[in-house]
């Protein structure tokens, strides 16, 4: 009984930490969209349709389920750490300075690769219903959809943590920064309004995804699978051909959904 009680306490700690991060990210992005920059954000909406309170309640409900799965994986991760199977460290001097500097970018690149291929796999007809359908109930997503997963998808996303911590050495601070970057970016990609500046898709930053990039995935299902970067979609030919056009429409205050007349193909090249 003592062991079970200890496990329950550990599960609760993991749940509270993940809940805190989820609430901070989803609340912050929601406030930026609906209150702090409301007028500007309203002029940059990607879809004509607005999510309803029913949609948001569903997203929060499934996010709580996801947090439960993450907490369970957190227990497994803690046990693996106790067994010495994870490579997380607390002293910067344990590894060279160059690794401490590049470990966060390396981690983000690895997570982007994992996300792209896991995400694309979940769209296979044999897997979609069991893994990814819940997330796509958010046809017009909100920041609260960041963790709106089924048990299967939550498990697939969650196991990245113990896998990567067992494979590469990471300082605890680097890992915590990564966790916050991941959830804030997740909330932003589901915000429904375009945050990025007009010049984003016309320069070197175009290697990074935008809110429009991910929103188009929710609208059309097959394509734009990337999380941080656009390169996997471009290498694999899965990026929507009118992505840049839709981005330009969003920053110019025009909706990019199927109810809106498309601009000329030439506007697909840039926002100029």
pLDDT tens digits, 163-173: 999 999 999 99
Residue with tokens 């995400």, as numbered in its chain: 119
Residues 62, 64, 65, 70, CA torsion sign: positive
Confidence check: pLDDT of 241 > 80: yes
| CA gap 238, 6 in Å, rounded | 46
Per-residue b or e along 14-36, where b marks 16 or more CB atoms closer than 10 Å to that residue's CB: bbebbbebbeebbeebbebbeee
Confidence of residue 145 (pLDDT cuts 50, 70, 90): very high
Residue 21: per-residue pLDDT:
97
Confidence of residue 265 (pLDDT cuts 50, 70, 90): very low
Mean of pLDDT over the chain:
93
Question: What mean pLDDT comes out for the span 182-207?
Answer: 96
Residue 271: per-residue pLDDT:
66
Residue 178: per-residue pLDDT:
98
Cα distance between the two ends of the chain: 66
- Strand 170-171 vs strand 88-89: parallel, antiparallel, or unpaired? parallel
Residue 256: per-residue pLDDT:
58
Residue 68: per-residue pLDDT:
98
| CA gap 52, 142 in Å, rounded | 10
Query: Which of helix, strand or coil describes residue 149?
Result: coil
Query: Which of helix, strand or coil describes residue 264?
Result: coil
Confidence check: pLDDT of 268 > 80: no
Question: What mean pLDDT comes out for the span 224-230?
Answer: 98
C-alpha 209: how far from its chain's center?
A: 11
């Amino acid at each position: 009984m003592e062991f079970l009680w200890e496990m329950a306490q550990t599960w609760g700690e993991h749940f509270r930490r993940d809940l805190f991060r989820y609430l901070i990210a989803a609340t912050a992005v929601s406030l930026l969209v609906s209150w702090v920059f409301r007028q500007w954000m309203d002029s940059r909406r990607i879809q004509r349709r607005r999510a309803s309170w029913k949609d948001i309640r569903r997203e929060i409900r499934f996010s709580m389920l996801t947090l439960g799965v993450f907490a369970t994986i957190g227990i497994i991760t803690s046990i693996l750490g106790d067994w010495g199977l994870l490579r997380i460290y607390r002293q910067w001097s344990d590894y060279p300075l160059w690794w401490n500097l590049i470990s966060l970018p390396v981690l983000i690149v690895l997570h982007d690769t994992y996300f792209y291929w896991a995400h694309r796999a979940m769209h296979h007809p044999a897997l979609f219903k069991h893994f990814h359908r819940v997330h796509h109930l958010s046809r017009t997503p909100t920041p609260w959809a960041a963790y709106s997963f089924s048990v299967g998808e939550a498990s697939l996303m969650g196991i990245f943590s113990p896998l990567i911590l067992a494979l590469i050495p990471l300082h605890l601070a680097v890992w915590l920064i990564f966790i916050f970057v991941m959830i804030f970016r997740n909330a932003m990609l589901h915000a429904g309004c375009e945050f990025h500046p007009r010049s984003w898709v016309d320069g070197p930053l175009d290697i990074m995804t935008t809110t429009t990039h991910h929103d188009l995935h929710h609208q059309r299902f097959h394509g734009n699978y990337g999380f941080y970067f656009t390169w996997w979609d471009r290498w694999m030919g899965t990026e929507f051909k009118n992505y840049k056009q839709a981005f330009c429409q969003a920053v110019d205050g025009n909706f990019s959904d199927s109810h809106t007349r498309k601009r000329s193909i030439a506007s697909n090249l840039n926002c100029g």
